[in-house]
């Protein structure tokens, strides 16, 4: 099998890249180890930056997004039982975010590929990316019990943190930066309308809490818990009680409760792999970087990566120049590190670390009070949350 671009992974990065290449007239094949049903129900991020929604619309994947997505013009910060809203459009020149689950983004892009191409091969287990430093890289994969080879001019590694693509970059040229956090998120989906019409980020002495949503009838909520916690360690009643405690305000706001349909624990880590390119292999999304989830940057960073890559590949096809391809890693990493900074700042602003002192608590409250009383500080948060412009 032969194509121009072999794409490893059918998450939002791989699927969007395939769509952008299809629109640019560049042939590609997507290989995904899981089946379609798994990809379309895999719960991940749910907040799309302004730039991400613009790209999806331009790619023809905006119809259901515009119909069902929940557009948000701000978030609410809670601390000391006080509420403070950060309005985005006024602070960012009109930018906002949209709540629309990653599962839905994948469904939309898969439907486009099904009707308009390119081919997406599900249950195709990628075994290795080979000869990445030559003019003829190969992707070796297993499908229907048989090993096959995809020969291509370029490979896009969009297979996530645990995928095989990054392993094709020799250790001698790799640099890894990261940190692990000593807490995690216990997340629940609940069949109850959200108790607030925008996302609520709460800093509390007992730990962080987040009130989010998936739809007007489904709430998504999170609690900070110690690293290594299992979801079975918390009963539904304990989760609701703790959420109510941490989200409490002085004005009598109440948290609506309902049936919990799903529990999971998300570890917290920051990770960057440099470079994001080796030969004709280009890493994108979680294959190259991980951010803690507080800033909602993971999916949005992946979109930024594949936009840069698609433009570079289209430029090379049109002009014969590899200038943009050669700049891919540096171009993406500038945005990646700004997102890492923002996500780290927001995480340490809102979470109480084990062993935190009274001095640490006062510093957190002072930082939050600064955001609540300073337009420039609020604008920095709003600009980071709604997303840096795509390169």
Instruction: List pLDDT tens digits, range 86-129.
Output: 999 999 999 999 999 999 999 999 999 999 989 999 999 999 99
Burial class, 245, CB count within 10 angstroms (exposed 0-12 / middle 13-18 / buried 19+): middle
Mean pLDDT of 22-39: 96
Assigned token pair, 25: 């007239």
Catalytic: which of 181, 293, 328, 351? 293
Does residue 79 fall inside a structural domain?
A: no
Does residue 302 share a domain with residue 173?
A: yes
pLDDT at 391: 64
| Same domain flag for 17 and 102 | yes
Active-site residue (options: 100, 154, 278, 385): 385
Full residue range of the structural domain in which residue 261 is found: 182-268+354-386
Claim to verify: residue 19 and residue 113 sit in the same structural domain: yes
Do 321 and 339 lie in a common domain? yes
84 is annotated as an active-site residue: no
Based on the fold, state whether residues 225 and 318 are members of the same structural domain: no
pLDDT at 45 over 80: no
d(CA 239, CA 254): 15
Q: Is 278 a catalytic residue?
A: no
Is the domain of 119 the same as that of 142?
Answer: yes
Local structure of residue 168 (DSSP, 8 states): G
Tell me what percent of the residues of the chain surpass a pLDDT of 90: 96
Distance between CA atoms of 337 and 341, rounded to whole angstroms? 6
pTM of the full predicted structure? 0.95
Residue-level pLDDT at 106: 96
Dump pLDDT digits (tens) for 132-158.
999 999 999 999 999 999 999 999 999
Residue 120 lies in a domain: yes
Are residues 65 and 57 in contact, defined by beta-carbon separation less than 8 angstroms? yes
* CA proximity to 360, closest of 225, 183, 205: 205
78 in a structural domain = no
Residue with tokens 């983004």: 105
Residue 43 pLDDT exceeds 80: no
Q: Which residues pair with 84 in a beta bridge?
A: 77
pLDDT of residue 44: 74
Residues 262 and 284 in one domain: no
Could you tell me if residue 298 is inside a domain?
yes
**What radius of gyration do the chain's Cα atoms show?**
21
Residue 85 covered by a domain: no
Q: What secondary structure, in 3-state letters, does 227-296 show?
A: CCCCHHHCCHHHHHHHHHHHHCCCCCCCCCCCCEEEEEEEEEEEEEEECCEECCEEECHHHCEECCHHHC
Mapped onto helix, strand or coil, the DSSP state of residue 59 is coil
Check if the beta carbon of residue 8 is closer than 8 Å to that of residue 157.
yes
Q: Are residues 202 and 137 in the same domain?
A: no
Q: Looking at the predicted structure, is the pLDDT value of residue 164 above 90?
A: yes
Q: Which two tokens stand for residue 308?
A: 């840069």
Catalytic residue among 12, 72, 183, 222: 72
Q: Which of 196, 204, 297, 351 is catalytic?
A: 297
How remote is the C-alpha of 220 from its chain's centroid? 16
Omega cis (within 30) before 118: yes
Same-domain pairing of 222 and 339: no
Output the pLDDT for position 389: 80
pLDDT at 350 over 90: yes
Question: Residues 188-232: pLDDT tens digits?
Answer: 999 999 999 999 999 999 999 999 999 999 999 999 999 999 999
| Range 228-245 average pLDDT | 97
Count the Cβ atoms, other than its own, within 10 Å of residue 48.
29
Q: Residue 183: pLDDT above 80?
A: yes
Do 335 and 186 reside in the same domain of the chain? no
| Residue 387, SS3 per DSSP | coil
- 65, 108: one domain: yes
Burial 126-144 (b: 16+ CB within 10 A, else e): beebebbeeeebbbebeee
Looking at residue 31, which CATH number applies to its domain? Answer: 3.50.50.60
**Per-residue pLDDT reduced to its tens digit, 245-265:** 999 999 999 999 999 999 999
Residue 381 within any structural domain of the chain:
yes
Marked catalytic residue, from 201, 222, 278, 328: 201
| Residue 86 domain flag | no
Place of tokens 């084990």: 354
Q: Evaluate whether residue 148 is within a structural domain.
A: yes
CB 246 within 8 A of CB 258: no
Number of domains in the chain: 2
| DSSP state, residue 285 | G
Would residue 72 show up in a list of annotated catalytic residues for this protein? yes
Q: What percent of the chain has pLDDT over 70?
A: 100
CATH number at residue 215: 3.30.9.10
Instruction: Say what the pLDDT of residue 375 is.
Output: 98
Query: What's the confidence (pLDDT) of residue 33?
Result: 96
Q: Is the pLDDT of residue 390 over 90?
A: no
Same domain, 29 and 119: yes
How high is the pLDDT of residue 138? 98
**Residue 296 DSSP class:** -
Query: For 133, which DSSP code?
Result: T
List Cβ neighbours of 133 (8 Å cut-off, separation of 6 or more).
278, 279, 280
């Amino acid at each position: 099998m032969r194509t121009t671009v072999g794409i490893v992974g059918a998450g939002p990065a791989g699927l969007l890249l395939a769509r952008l290449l299809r629109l640019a007239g560049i042939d590609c094949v997507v290989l995904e180890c899981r089946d379609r049903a798994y990809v379309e129900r895999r719960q991940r991020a749910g907040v799309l930056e302004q730039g991400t929604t613009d790209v999806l619309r331009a790619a023809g994947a905006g119809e259901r997004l515009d119909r069902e997505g929940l557009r948000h013009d701000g978030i609410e910060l809670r601390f000391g039982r006080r509420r403070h809203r950060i309005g985005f459009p006024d602070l960012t020149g009109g930018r906002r975010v949209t709540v629309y689950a990653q599962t839905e983004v994948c469904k939309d892009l898969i439907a486009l590929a099904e009707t308009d191409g390119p081919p997406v091969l599900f249950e195709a287990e990628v075994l290795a990316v080979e000869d990445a430093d030559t003019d003829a890289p190969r992707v070796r994969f297993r499908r229907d019990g048989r090993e096959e080879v995809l020969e291509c001019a370029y490979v896009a590694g969009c297979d996530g943190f645990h995928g095989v693509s990054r392993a094709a970059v020799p250790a001698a040229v790799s640099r890894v930066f990261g940190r692990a956090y000593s807490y995690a998120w216990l997340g629940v989906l609940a069949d109850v309308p959200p108790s607030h019409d925008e996302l609520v980020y709460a800093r509390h002495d007992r730990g962080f809490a987040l009130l989010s949503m998936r739809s007007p009838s489904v709430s998504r909520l999170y609690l900070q818990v110690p690293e290594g916690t299992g979801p079975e360690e918390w009963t539904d009643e304990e989760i609701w009680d703790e959420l109510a405690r941490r989200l409490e305000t002085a004005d009598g706001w109440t948290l609506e409760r309902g049936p919990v349909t799903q529990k999971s624990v998300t570890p917290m880590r920051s990770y960057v792999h440099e470079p994001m390119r080796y030969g004709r292999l280009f890493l994108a999304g979680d294959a190259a970087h991980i951010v803690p989830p507080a800033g909602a940057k993971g999916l949005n960073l992946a979109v930024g990566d594949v936009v840069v890559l698609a433009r570079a590949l289209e430029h090379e096809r049109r002009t014969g120049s590899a200038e943009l391809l050669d700049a891919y890693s540096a171009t993406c990493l500038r945005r990646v590190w700004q997102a890492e900074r923002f996500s780290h700042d927001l995480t340490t602003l809102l979470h109480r670390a084990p062993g935190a002192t009274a001095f640490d608590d006062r510093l957190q409250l002072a930082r939050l009070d600064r955001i609540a009383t300073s337009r420039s500080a609020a604008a920095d948060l709003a600009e980071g949350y709604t997303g840096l412009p795509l390169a």
